[in-house]
Amino acid sequence: MLETVIVGGGLCGLSLAVALQAQGRSFALYEARPRLGGRVLSVPSEKAGMRLDLGPTWYWPDTQPGMTKLVADLGLITFPQNDSGSVLRLHDHDKKAVPTEVESVHGGARRVEGGMASVIEALAAKIPADTIHLGQALTVVIDRGDHVELHFRVGETVNIIEARRVVLALPPRIVEEHVRFEPSLDENLVAAMQDTYTWMAGEAKGVIAYDKPGWREAGQSGNAFVTHEQAVFGEIFDACDATGTRAALGGFLALAPALRASFKAGLPMLMGNQMGQVFGPEYEHGEQHYQDWAAEEFTATRHDQIRPDDHPHYGNPFLRQVLWDGKLFLGGSETATYAGGYMEGALDSARRLARDVGRFAPTVVVPLQPGKEGISNVESVAQFAQWVAGRQNSVLETYRLTLNKLMASPDKEIVTQRAMVATVEQVFSEALFQLEQIPFDMQGVMVEKGRSDLTPQILKSFDGFIQFLLDAVIQYNRTSCALSNFPGEDKPSKDYLQAILRDIAAAWKEFCLSVNAYFVSKTPVLAAS
C-alpha cells in the first residue's frame, strides 16, 4: 500500500513531492493530463526559436521569496520583463493607438529562460520517474478507515489505488466537480470549494512570434491596453527573450469564454488584426499560439465561465482543514494563505502540506547532517527574531504598496482592512519561509500535548509587531491625501478597527498553528550518522 498519493502534477503537487522525497517519505504522484505542469504551459515557437508561455509568465522577487529561492536553487536563468519604452492605449476601434508616458506596467516582474515549464521540468527531475503517473483522472475517494481508496479514470478503464493518505493538489472547484467522496464532504467545505474561483480558468492567452521586435526600435515597450467594446486583446505585453532578439508579443483576450467559443474559427484573424491595429500592419501576420483555459477540462468548471473583475481573495480556512483523521488533505494555489492564484501561492500551499503530512505520517529516522551537531537553538531563535525585527522596519511600506494597488483596482471597498490583512498574511508567509531556512537542532526538542517547546519561543519574536503596524497604519492613513477621497478609510472608526483586528487574529491563529506544525513534523527520532 502506498504511503502518500499526491493528485495533481502542477507546481504545488511537484513541490510537495520534492519535499517528501527530501524527507525520505514514500509517495506517488498522479496527474490527469498527459503532461506535468497544470496551468504552467510553455510551447515551442519555430519562428522565435524559443518557448512561449501560454500560462503563468512572471514572478515578482520583491513579494515572492519562495519563487525567487526556487528558481535560484534549481539553477535556472531569469531575466526582467521588458517595460522600457512607451505604452500604447487604444480607446476607439476607428482610431490609432496613442502612446502614453513611460511606466512600469509589470512592477519588477521577472521571467524564466526557456519558459515557466523549465521550473516544472527541473522539479520533476528531482523525483524518481517511476513515482509519476500521467493520464490518470481521479473520480472517487473513499474513506476505508485506516486508508483511502482512490479510483482513477484511465481511458475506458478504472485504476484503483490504496494509500494511507491522499493530497489533492488541485483547484478546489475541479475537486468539487470531478471527484465523488464517500462519505460526502461537509457542506461548508463544499460551499467553499464552489466559491473559490480557479485563477485564470476563465481566461485565454495568445502569443504571436515575429521576425524582429520593431516596436522596441520605435521606442515602445510592447505594453498596450485596448479598452473599446470590440477589443480582442485587452492587455498586450512584450514576450521577447532576454536578449530582445527573439521576438514575440503576448496578450490576454478581452472576449468572454462564450464569445471565444463562438468566434473560434475566426479568432486567428481577429488576433492578428488587433496586433496590426495597435502596433502597425507589419504585425498583423505572425506565428500564432493560443490557449483557451476555459475550454480545459482539468482547469475550468461550469462556475469559472464568469471572470472576476479583479484578483479574487483566496485563503478560505475551510480549504486548509486536515480531513478524515489525517488521511485527506486539500492543496493547490487557491488554498494558500498568501499569494493565492499565483505560483508563489502554489509553493505556499506545498509547504503547508509538507508540514501537515509530516504530522500524520510515520516518524522518519533522519541522520544528523555533518557540521550541524553544534547548532544552538538559542542562536537559531535569535536569528529568526532578528529577521522579524528587520521586517517590522519595512512593514509599513508593504502596507502602502498593497493599499495603492487596492485603490487602483475596480473594488475599492474596505481598502484599509484588506490591505492590512494582506500585509499581515504576506509577512506570516515570509516568516514561515524564513523559518524553514534556519537550521534547528531537533534533538531534545519536546512535544507535549501536540505543542513543540520551540513554538512559543518563535512566536514571542512577534511581540508588539501587530500593534506597531496598526499604529503606523492609522498615522499613515490620516496623512494620506489619496485616502481623503475614501470616507471612513483615512480615519477608521472603532468598529472598523475591531473588524480589522478580528481578521488579523484569525491570520495569527493560523500562523501559530503552522509554526507548531512545522516543528512537530521536524521532530523525528534522530540517529547520529
Contact 220, 85 (CB under 8 A): yes
For residue 301, tell me if it sits in a domain.
Answer: no
Per the omega criterion (within 30 degrees of 0), is the bond before 362 cis? no
The CATH number of the domain where 159 resides is what?
3.50.50.60
For residue 304, tell me if it sits in a domain.
Answer: no
Same domain? For 18 and 129 the reply is yes
Last residue of a domain, one of 246, 272, 295: 295
Same domain? For 179 and 90 the reply is no
Rounded to an integer, what distance in angstroms lies between the CA atom of residue 374 and that of residue 209? 56
Q: Which has the closest alpha carbon to 419: 500, 334, 341?
A: 500
Q: What is the pLDDT of residue 489?
A: 86
Same domain? For 59 and 159 the reply is no
Residues of the chain with pLDDT below 50 are 368, 525-529
Same domain? For 23 and 93 the reply is no
Q: What is the pLDDT of residue 41?
A: 98
Tell whether pTM > 0.85: yes
Same domain? For 27 and 138 the reply is yes
Same domain? For 388 and 520 the reply is yes
Q: Which has the closest alpha carbon to 433: 391, 484, 488?
A: 391
For residue 95, tell me if it sits in a domain.
Answer: yes
What is the per-residue pLDDT across 360-377, written as a single tens digit (0 to 9) for each?
877 655 554 555 555 688
Provide the residue range defining the domain that includes 91. 42-110+202-295
Q: 469: helix, coil or strand?
A: helix
Rounded to an integer, what distance in angstroms lies between the CA atom of residue 425 and that of residue 520? 22
Same domain? For 399 and 521 the reply is yes
Rounded to an integer, what distance in angstroms lies between the CA atom of residue 433 and that of residue 345? 12
Q: What are φ and ψ of residue 99, in 5° steps?
A: -75, 140
For residue 300, tell me if it sits in a domain.
Answer: no
The CATH number of the domain where 251 resides is what?
3.90.660.10
For the beta carbon of residue 265, count every other beta carbon within 10 angstroms: 7
Same domain? For 408 and 501 the reply is yes
Contact 83, 106 (CB under 8 A): yes
For residue 451, tell me if it sits in a domain.
Answer: yes
Same domain? For 46 and 35 the reply is no
C-alpha cell at 195: 466559491
For residue 488, tell me if it sits in a domain.
Answer: yes
Number of structural domains the chain divides into: 3
| Cα end-to-end span (Å), the chain | 29
What is the per-residue pLDDT across 105-159, written as a single tens digit (0 to 9) for each?
998 999 999 999 999 999 999 999 999 999 999 999 999 999 999 999 999 999 9
Q: What is the pLDDT of residue 363?
A: 62
Same domain? For 33 and 135 the reply is yes
Same domain? For 440 and 465 the reply is yes
